[in-house]
């Protein structure tokens, strides 16, 4: 009941509110409706356009293919000509098949030739090496035979390589027969060393004064006992010093060379003082030139006694120069313009 | 720490002996220092730290030839260990003195000085530039012309060490007129000298086209090919290195080498060597074939492919196999003719197994994969492709099936062979996603055959037939 009463009290205001709210909305209703219609119509237009585009594309493809097919049918002749032309062009200007084949054949022939040549070269090298090896072995054996020549068999005693139980002698036997025996090494004849004053080795050796290389034989009986041969002993005792190359170089080679150079320079140079450029630059001395240099006139010809003298004795002939060809005017008047001073009489 | 102290005390003992009055003692002390420094780089550092180098350099100028040799030996021994030690030698002004030693009369002194300069220049470009700035190059060229073999060797090796770092240094060396002398020395019978000469020429030629052309103009071909037949292994290696450095620049240079018959000689050389010696020759074939298809064809007709496949299968080292795979890839990638020439030698299965094996290094796997791909894309020789259907991984299988789909539509004999050898059956068994490239290829292969045959070979055909038998109702009369 109370609710009903409340509602009835409010009914008027509710009716007003209801009317008011509906009327307010009405202002925008048309606008919003128009807007919705616009959006929907635009969107539908897009859809349709997209569909039309798709249809166009598909139609174009079909037409393209159909026209291509028709064209291919129609223009067979032209295509034939183009085909022949393209083949000709490639064959003539871009790629020569026969030339390529020839080239490859030539390459394979060159290869074979090179392979043969290299094989020959390798074989030649091997042959040379084998030959060198054989020669070396031969030389070795020859040397051995020369050293062992005493093993040669004699008439009485067969040598070890010529055993009586063998049918033929061993090849070494033949080699020994052919070999020339090695001689003992002769004692080397020492060169007579030129003795100079500065050679300290010479003056301290026991053989300072000149005599023969080998001592004369001592004429007496050999003592019994384990004594060595006297000449050997003396040889060993008086064996001169054989310095190595490294030691033989003088220690003071450099200083010697310097001393030599100094001697040369002392003999040659006029002035002993070292040349010092600008040495008196700081001394502030005024430069006083000599009389010769401080005159106005240059140096005279050698032999002139007086300035401006003439020596008629030195003239070749006593005639003046003749004018063969007239000079031009300037020189014809030379010396004659003002005075006769320069004329030769 | 203890060792360092010991080392320093030794240096302290030796240093005053260098200033001794008797020259023999000086020489022996220098020799001792040299031998110590030669052995170990700690000792060499101790020599540098002990302030011995300035004394050595100062007295180098004045003493006799034995001392000069010993002092140059010390400098060489110190300079060979590391760039820092070599820089220390340069800093104490030793280069000028060494260059003066190069002008000495005694060949032993020249040799020691050239050796020291070579070791210093070996480390990097700045040190080489310092050596060149000291004016060593013309004197080294004069040393080359001396009659002693040891001096020639050392001088050539020093020039090679100078020229190897940069094109400018190589140009400096060439400007001194060294190429003509080196070209003459190729004919020398000494093996070690030939090694050094060939190495020097290859260091010069490797930098640029102009330098390579200059080396070629010195008329080294065909003399260099005789070096490929030398007994010494390293002479062969250096000769093939030289030819490789020349060939890799331009197609014209490669053509020149092919015309001179160099490719055949190198292939023979590969056949007669083993191991690392072969590597430059293999790389040469790769470079020549990579330039153009005519050159690759020239390599093929020189019988290069069987040799390369032999290398691929029998070499134990991975990097040589990788080089051989790379070279084969370049040979086979140009046209179907080339691919056929490679496929005929049965190399493709070997390449595949190298690619699939887990033991091969990554480099080898990458190179063999590239080679297989390149060759397969041009290969139309079907008997070689068939084994691939069975054991290839999917990414390679795609290419194989693609090649089949290109060839089969045009060749009826091949189609027949394909069926009889069981290839069609295998193709049917391949599972491919519908819409993928593999499925397209399979479809195009299936289109070459009549319906019945395709159905006959499709997997599970016997089951479908049996099902039809089960569901068949015989006509009851």
Q: Which of B225, B258, B294 sits opposite A118 (nearest CB)?
A: B225
- In percent, how much of chain B has pLDDT > 70? 99
Higher pLDDT, A202 or B294: B294
| pLDDT for position B381 | 87
- pLDDT tens-digit readout, B254-273: 999 999 999 999 999 999 99
| pLDDT for position A227 | 83
Nearest-CA neighbor of A178 among A213, A152, A203?
Answer: A152
| pLDDT for position A333 | 65
Partners of residue B64 in chain A, C-beta under 8 Å: 249, 253
Only one residue has tokens 């191991």, namely B275
* CA distances from residue B287 to A159, B164, B260, B321, B327 in whole angstroms, order as listed: 71, 21, 16, 16, 7
- Arithmetic mean of pLDDT, A112-133: 94
- pLDDT tens-digit readout, B190-199: 999 999 999 9
- Arithmetic mean of pLDDT, A323-340: 67
**Smallest Cα distance from A252 to chain B, Å:** 9
Kindly indicate the confidence band of residue B477, based on its pLDDT and cuts at 50, 70 and 90.
low
**Smallest Cα distance from A199 to chain B, Å:** 20
Return d(Cα A211, Cα A218) in angstroms, integer.
16
Return d(Cα B158, Cα B203) in angstroms, integer.
12
Cβ-contact B450, B460 below 8 angstroms: no
The alpha carbon of residue B454 and the mean position of all alpha carbons in its chain are separated, in whole angstroms, by: 51
| pLDDT for position A343 | 58
- pLDDT tens-digit readout, B373-395: 999 999 888 888 888 888 888 88
Is the previous residue joined to A215 through a cis bond, with omega within 30 degrees of 0? no
Mean pLDDT taken over chain B: 91
The alpha carbon of residue B237 and the mean position of all alpha carbons in its chain are separated, in whole angstroms, by: 10
| pLDDT for position A13 | 87
Cβ-contact B301, A101 below 8 angstroms: no
Cβ-contact B403, B363 below 8 angstroms: no
- In percent, how much of chain A has pLDDT > 90? 27
The answer, yes or no, to whether residue A217 has pLDDT greater than 80, is: no
Is B231 in Cβ contact with A251 (below 8 Å)?
A: no
Is A115 in Cβ contact with B225 (below 8 Å)?
A: no
Nearest-CA neighbor of B152 among B203, B105, B192?
Answer: B192
pTM for this entry: 0.69
- Arithmetic mean of pLDDT, B427-437: 82
Kindly indicate the confidence band of residue B252, based on its pLDDT and cuts at 50, 70 and 90.
very high
- pLDDT tens-digit readout, B355-367: 999 888 999 999 9
Return d(Cα A5, Cα A275) in angstroms, integer.
144
Partners of residue B259 in chain A, C-beta under 8 Å: 107, 110
Residues from B contacting A (CB-CB < 8 Å) are: 22-24, 27, 62-64, 66, 222, 225-226, 228-229, 231, 258-265, 268, 294, 297-298, 301-302
Is B62 in Cβ contact with A112 (below 8 Å)?
A: no
Nearest-CA neighbor of A145 among A159, A134, A157, A131?
Answer: A159
Is A122 in Cβ contact with B264 (below 8 Å)?
A: no
| pLDDT for position B351 | 92
| pLDDT for position B162 | 96
**Smallest Cα distance from A283 to chain B, Å:** 38
| pLDDT for position A206 | 55
From A289-298, B340-349, B406-415, the region with the lowest mean pLDDT = A289-298
Mutation to test the A interface, candidates B302, B305, B335, B337, most A Cβ within 10 Å: B302
Q: Which of B64, B264, B294 sits opposite A253 (nearest CB)?
A: B64
Q: Which two tokens stand for residue B24?
A: 């023999």
- In percent, how much of chain A has pLDDT > 70? 82
The answer, yes or no, to whether residue A296 has pLDDT greater than 50, is: yes
Mutation to test the B interface, candidates A100, A102, A107, A253, most B Cβ within 10 Å: A107
The answer, yes or no, to whether residue A272 has pLDDT greater than 90, is: no
- Arithmetic mean of pLDDT, A91-95: 79
- Arithmetic mean of pLDDT, B1-23: 80
The answer, yes or no, to whether residue A194 has pLDDT greater than 70, is: no
Higher pLDDT, A327 or B245: B245
Q: Which burial class, exposed, middle or buried, applies to B373 when counting CB atoms under 10 A from its CB (0-12, 13-18, 19+)?
A: middle
**Smallest Cα distance from A101 to chain B, Å:** 10
Closest Cα in chain A to B262: A111
Return d(Cα A336, Cα A332) in angstroms, integer.
8
| pLDDT for position A169 | 82
**Smallest Cα distance from A123 to chain B, Å:** 10
The answer, yes or no, to whether residue A197 has pLDDT greater than 50, is: no
Q: Which of B64, B228, B258 sits opposite A107 (nearest CB)?
A: B258
| pLDDT for position B142 | 93
Return d(Cα A332, Cα A7) in angstroms, integer.
158
- Arithmetic mean of pLDDT, A115-134: 94
Kindly indicate the confidence band of residue A195, based on its pLDDT and cuts at 50, 70 and 90.
low
| pLDDT for position A127 | 96
Cβ neighbours, 10 Å, residue A239: 9
| pLDDT for position B389 | 85
| pLDDT for position B414 | 86
Is B265 in Cβ contact with A118 (below 8 Å)?
A: yes
Partners of residue A254 in chain B, C-beta under 8 Å: 62-63
In chain B, helix, strand, coil percent, each to 5? 75, 0, 25
Return d(Cα A94, Cα B37) in angstroms, integer.
66
Cβ-contact B138, B181 below 8 angstroms: no
Is B23 in Cβ contact with A251 (below 8 Å)?
A: yes
Reduced 3-state DSSP string for B96-140: HHHHHHCCCCCHHHHHHHHHHHHHHHCCCHHHHHHHHHCCHHHHH
| pLDDT for position A286 | 80
Kindly indicate the confidence band of residue A345, based on its pLDDT and cuts at 50, 70 and 90.
very low
From A102-111, A301-310, B175-184, B303-312, the region with the lowest mean pLDDT = A301-310
- Arithmetic mean of pLDDT, A200-213: 52
Q: Which two tokens stand for residue A98?
A: 């026969």
**Smallest Cα distance from A259 to chain B, Å:** 15
- pLDDT tens-digit readout, B87-102: 999 999 999 999 999 9
Q: Which burial class, exposed, middle or buried, applies to B221 when counting CB atoms under 10 A from its CB (0-12, 13-18, 19+)?
A: middle
3-class secondary-structure state, position A118: helix
Cβ-contact B220, B183 below 8 angstroms: yes
The answer, yes or no, to whether residue A229 has pLDDT greater than 80, is: yes
| pLDDT for position A212 | 55
Is A125 in Cβ contact with B264 (below 8 Å)?
A: no
| pLDDT for position A64 | 95
Partners of residue B298 in chain A, C-beta under 8 Å: 104, 107
């Amino acid at each position: 009941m109370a609710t009903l009463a409340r509602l009835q009290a409010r009914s008027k205001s509710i009716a007003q509110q209801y009317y008011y709210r509906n009327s307010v909305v009405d202002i925008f209703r048309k606008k919003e409706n128009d807007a919705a219609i616009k959006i929907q119509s635009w969107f539908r237009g897009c859809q349709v356009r997209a569909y039309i585009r798709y249809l166009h594309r598909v139609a174009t493809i079909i037409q393209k293919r159909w026209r291509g097919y028709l064209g291919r049918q129609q223009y067979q002749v032209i295509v034939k000509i183009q085909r022949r032309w393209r083949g000709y062009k490639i064959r003539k200007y871009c790629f020569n098949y026969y030339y390529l084949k020839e080239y490859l054949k030539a390459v394979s022939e060159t290869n074979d030739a090179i392979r043969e040549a290299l094989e020959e070269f390798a074989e030649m090298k091997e042959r040379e090496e084998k030959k060198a090896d054989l020669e070396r072995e031969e030389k070795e054996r020859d040397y051995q035979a020369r050293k062992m020549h005493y093993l040669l068999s004699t008439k009485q005693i067969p040598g070890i390589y010529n055993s009586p139980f063998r049918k033929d002698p061993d090849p070494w036997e033949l080699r020994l027969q052919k070999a020339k025996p090695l001689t003992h090494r002769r004692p080397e004849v020492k060169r007579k060393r030129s003795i100079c004053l500065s050679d300290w080795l010479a003056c301290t050796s026991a053989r300072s004064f000149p005599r023969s290389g080998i001592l004369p034989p001592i004429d007496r009986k050999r003592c019994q006992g384990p004594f060595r041969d006297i000449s050997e002993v003396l040889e060993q005792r008086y064996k001169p010093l054989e310095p190595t190359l490294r030691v033989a170089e003088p220690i003071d080679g450099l200083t010697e060379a310097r001393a030599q150079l100094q001697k040369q320079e002392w003999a040659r140079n006029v002035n002993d003082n070292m040349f010092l450029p600008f040495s008196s630059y700081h001394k502030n001395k005024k430069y006083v030139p000599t009389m010769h240099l401080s005159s106005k006139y240059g140096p005279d010809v050698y032999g002139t006694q007086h300035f401006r003298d003439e020596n008629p004795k030195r003239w070749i002939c006593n005639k003046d120069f003749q004018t063969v060809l007239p000079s031009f005017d300037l020189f014809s008047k030379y010396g004659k313009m003002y005075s006769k001073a320069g004329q030769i009489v | 720490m203890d060792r360092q102290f010991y080392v320093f005390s030794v240096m302290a003992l030796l240093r005053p002996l260098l200033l001794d009055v008797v020259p023999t003692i000086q020489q022996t002390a220098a020799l001792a220092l040299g031998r110590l420094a030669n052995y170990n780089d700690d000792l060499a550092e101790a020599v540098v730290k002990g302030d011995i180098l300035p004394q050595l350099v100062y007295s180098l100028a004045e003493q006799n030839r034995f001392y000069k040799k010993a002092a140059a030996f010390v400098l060489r021994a110190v300079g060979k260990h590391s760039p820092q030690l070599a820089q220390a030698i340069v800093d104490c002004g030793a280069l000028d003195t060494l260059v003066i030693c190069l002008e000495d009369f005694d060949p032993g002194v020249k040799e020691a000085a050239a050796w020291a300069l070579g070791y210093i220049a070996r480390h990097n470009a700045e040190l080489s530039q310092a050596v060149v700035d000291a004016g060593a190059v013309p004197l080294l060229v004069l040393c080359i012309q001396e009659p002693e073999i040891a001096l020639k060797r050392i001088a050539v090796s020093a020039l090679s060490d100078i020229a190897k770092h940069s094109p400018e240094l190589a140009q400096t060396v060439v400007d001194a007129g060294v190429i003509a002398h080196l070209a003459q020395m190729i004919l020398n019978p000494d093996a070690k000298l030939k090694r050094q000469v060939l190495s020097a020429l290859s260091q010069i030629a490797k930098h640029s086209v102009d330098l390579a052309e200059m080396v070629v103009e010195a008329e080294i071909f065909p003399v260099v090919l005789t070096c490929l037949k030398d007994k010494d292994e390293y002479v062969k290696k250096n000769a093939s290195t030289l030819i490789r450095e020349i060939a890799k620049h331009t197609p014209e240079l490669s053509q020149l080498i092919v015309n001179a018959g160099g490719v055949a000689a190198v292939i023979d050389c590969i056949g007669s060597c083993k191991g690392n010696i072969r590597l430059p020759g293999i790389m040469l074939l790769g470079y020549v074939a990579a330039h153009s298809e005519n050159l690759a064809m020239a390599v093929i007709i020189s019988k290069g492919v069987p040799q390369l496949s032999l290398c691929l299968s029998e070499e134990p080292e991975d990097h040589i196999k990788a080089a051989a795979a790379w070279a084969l890839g370049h040979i086979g990638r140009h046209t179907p003719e080339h691919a056929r020439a490679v496929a005929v030698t049965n190399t493709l299965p070997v390449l595949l197994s190298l690619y699939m094996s887990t033991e091969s290094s990554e480099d080898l796997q990458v190179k063999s994969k590239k080679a297989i791909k390149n060759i397969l894309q041009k290969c139309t020789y079907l008997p070689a492709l068939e084994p691939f259907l069975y054991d290839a991984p999917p990414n390679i299988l795609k290419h194989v099936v693609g090649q089949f789909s290109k060839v089969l539509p045009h060749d009826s004999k091949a189609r027949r062979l394909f069926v009889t050898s069981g290839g069609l059956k295998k193709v049917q068994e391949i599972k491919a996603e519908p819409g993928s490239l593999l499925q397209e290829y399979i479809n195009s292969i299936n289109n070459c055959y009549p319906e019945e045959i395709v159905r006959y070979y499709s997997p599970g055909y016997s089951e479908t037939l049996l099902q039809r038998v089960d569901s068949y109702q015989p006509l009851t009369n």
